[in-house]
Amino acid sequence: MASGQIDIRGVSKTFQVDGRPLVALERVDLDISAGAFITIVGASGCGKSTLLRMIAGLERNHRGEIRHGGQVIAGPSLERGLVFQEPRLFPWLTVAQNVALGLENAKVSGETRRRLVAEHLALVGLTGFAQAYPRQLSGGMAQRAAIARALVNRPGILLLDEPFGALDAMTRAHLQGELQRIWAHEGITAVLVTHDVDEAVLLGDQVVVMAPRPGRIAEIFPIDAPRPRDRKDEDLIRLRNAVLEALDAIKDEAPRSAVPH
């Protein structure tokens, strides 16, 4: 499984908001080695989604370079799956049909296709809802369907933007476990954005802490605890507190001017 390494070099992204430049990301450098599990935390608006969308190949016109397996990323690829911050299910398709969108360009037979869709619906606990329409789902169920859609063709790199934010604690814990299992079993690379520091520490090999205005990487915490991990593990709790302190320090820091250089 050559999921490939991701190299982010000096990446800056400026949006125009009301005719004025807004620096969403400023000189971000990050190496994500193949098979790693990276989690990203940071205040709202610090550019987490923007960074993820850039890795996916959805944002154009940025400075710096992002490479995947040595190749500069110029657009989306089936090798990089993305779970958006919103479910984005197509409302005219059933849940099963929505998940099957992920296999639209996969070279698999109709039989395998049906089996894969069913397996992934089971994985996210939506088996009974295969024929339901998105409007019949709760927010958390819709997000689970979106996760199944992103997983179904097993991209080498899986990018997840707050995938479990809308879920109840039980379902979240279950899906965290499943995600770890898939990641370990398939040897894929995972990059997960979250607001939940416990989740970041539980899942990540590294926790990337971002700071806002302008969006940048403030600190990277390596998490060396052995897997499978126990969220009540002393080391993890210590690390969680360290990450929380880093976030607090960022919050107290006076915002810098957001004018590009």
Interface with another protein by CB under 8 A: which residues?
56-58, 75-78, 80-82, 84, 86, 88, 90-93, 101-102, 104-105, 128-136, 153
Q: What is the largest CA-CA distance in the chain?
A: 58
Half-sphere exposure of 78 (CA within 13 A, CB side): 10
Nearer to another protein by Cβ, of 102 and 212: the residue is 102
Site for ligand ATP contains 133 (CB under 6 A): no
Distances (CA, A) of 160 to 48, 63, 118, 167, 192: 11, 23, 21, 14, 5
Q: Identify the three-state secondary structure at position 131.
A: coil
98 binds ligand ATP (CB under 6 A): no
45 contact, one of another protein, ligand ATP, Mg ion, none, CB 5-8 Å limit per kind: ligand ATP
User: Cβ of residue 85: shortest distance to Mg ion, in angstroms?
Assistant: 5
24 binds ligand ATP (CB under 6 A): yes
How many Cβ atoms from other residues are within 10 Å of residue 30's Cβ? 19
Candidate residues 3, 12, 49, 94; the one interacting with Mg ion per rule CB under 5 A:
49
Query: CB 203 → Mg ion: shortest distance, Å?
Result: 17
Task: State the amino acid at position 76 in one-letter form.
Answer: P
Residue 234 CB neighbours (<10 A) = 9
Phi-psi region of 71 (alpha: psi -120 to 50; beta: other; left: phi over 0): beta
* Sheet hosting strand 216-222, strand order edge to edge: 80-83, 157-161, 189-193, 37-42, 206-211, 216-222
Angle at CA of residue 32, ends 29 and 37, nearest 5°: 130
Site string for ligand ATP, 43-82 (x = CB under 6 A): -xxxxxxx--------------------------------
H helical segments located in 84-138: 95-100, 110-123
Nearer to another protein, 97 or 235 (CB): 97
**Closer CB to another protein, 76 or 187, in the complex:** 76
Binding mask 128-167 for Mg ion (x = CB under 5 A): ----------------------------------------
Report in angstroms how near the CB of residue 44 gets to ligand ATP at its nearest. 3
Positions that interact with ligand ATP (CB under 6 A): 15, 17, 22, 24, 42, 44-50, 85, 215
Positions that interact with Mg ion (CB under 5 A): 49, 85
